[in-house]
Amino acid sequence: MTDIQDTDQFTGAGWPWRSGNRFHLLADNEQFFERMLQSIEAARAYVLLEMYLVESGIITGRFAEALGRAARRGVRVCVVFDAFGSLRLAASYRRSLVAAGVDLRTFNPIRLRARLHNFLRDHRKLLLVDGVTAFVGGAGLTDEFAIAARPGQPWRDLMVEISGPVVADWQRAFARTWRRTGGVPDFPQPPSTIDIEDGADGRVALSEARERSVLANGVVRRIDAARTRAWIMSAYFVPSRRFRKALRVAARRGVDVRLLVPGPMTDHPWVRHAARRYYGKMLRNGVKIFEYQPRMLHAKMIVCDDWVSIGSSNLDRWSFKWNLEANQEIRNAAFAAVAVEVFEADCSKSEALSRRNWPQRAWLDRQQERIAGLLDRMLDRWRRPRVP
């Protein structure tokens, strides 16, 4: 077992641990959307929003109206939507935002001549208000996250509300993306923040051009160092060989290793098939695997002992190779206890896979896993272009 010392090797390539923060885990979709909208309505200086999946609909309409009202009352509103993730956002929404005074920019517009460069996507979900409040997680602005109109909805997701010194780091992270879209980060600097008494330690964890392996490496090191538990909740879990080995080794030394992954309700069934081809070996080594049943699982959370990471990363090779990702790391026993409670509640709504029964799964399932695995390996061989 590796003993982690949170010094230079664990600083996240320039993102240090900050003490004195307050983190609130928002485990209900309606709750986190309401808190985000309330924060926008209360903004006095600036609102910064970075979002991957954005589609026309009721929830996006509510955010567009709140952002427009903020801009009209003199608040600086800067918004980045990913070009691919916002393909289904009607032009009328964009026009209304710009007309209200919102500075709206698009990350990596899709161009035929760009070829593989089109795969580089901004998958982050980040909202900052006045330099004092931030929201980080996995939810997008689509009605799948907000309206239970069909079976399996709304999608299961998590966000974390943040206050304290680490918010300034999130603003610096947003500024980097803003520059890539051609924007000038002329929004005010975050106000000086006093450490919250008895607050928690927190750190920004990013995956991007020069740091694409930092987030992945950090999680693997946490698994290697885990003493009691290493729990992973992921919507699209297709791990690398190194990642799979870390989970198996941890389970064999007695750590409670759990994977909470999507069940039959998923928007990407072939990703699920690609992941399932690894389950047999992990089950034989003592890894517990739960497939979430009630609805689409889209949340991303890792709990290793008293360390928690929540954000946009699915911990799959595609994310680390092609996407800009953002996670909030938290080191605090009280917050970890809340995360464990949420995780266990979701496990109780899941099907626990059986090591004994796994080899007897349907022939069709195994064929789909083989095909999905072949496609995954082909995609993994593509060389990743450099992010400008």
Which sequence positions are flagged as catalytic?
A: 123, 125, 130, 298, 300, 305
CA distance 282 to 290: 12
β-bridge pairing 76-82 and 46-51: parallel
Q: Which of 179, 176, 209, 204 is nearest to 322 (CA)?
A: 209
CA distance 37 to 48: 13
The neighbour count for residue 105, using CB atoms within 10 Å, is 17
Specify burial of residue 91 (Cβ count, 10 A radius: 0-12, 13-18, 19+): exposed
| CA 14 to chain CA mean position, Å | 20
Cα 59–Cα 121–Cα 89 angle in degrees, nearest 5: 30
Q: For residues 145 and 154, is the Cβ–Cβ distance under 8 A? A: yes
CA distance 24 to 44: 22
The neighbour count for residue 237, using CB atoms within 10 Å, is 23
DSSP SS3 for 275: helix
What separation, in Å, do the N-terminal and C-terminal C-alpha atoms of the chain show? 38
CA distance 103 to 81: 11
The neighbour count for residue 113, using CB atoms within 10 Å, is 6
Query: How many CA atoms are closer than 13 Å to the CA of 386, on its beta-carbon side?
Result: 2
CA distance 383 to 347: 37
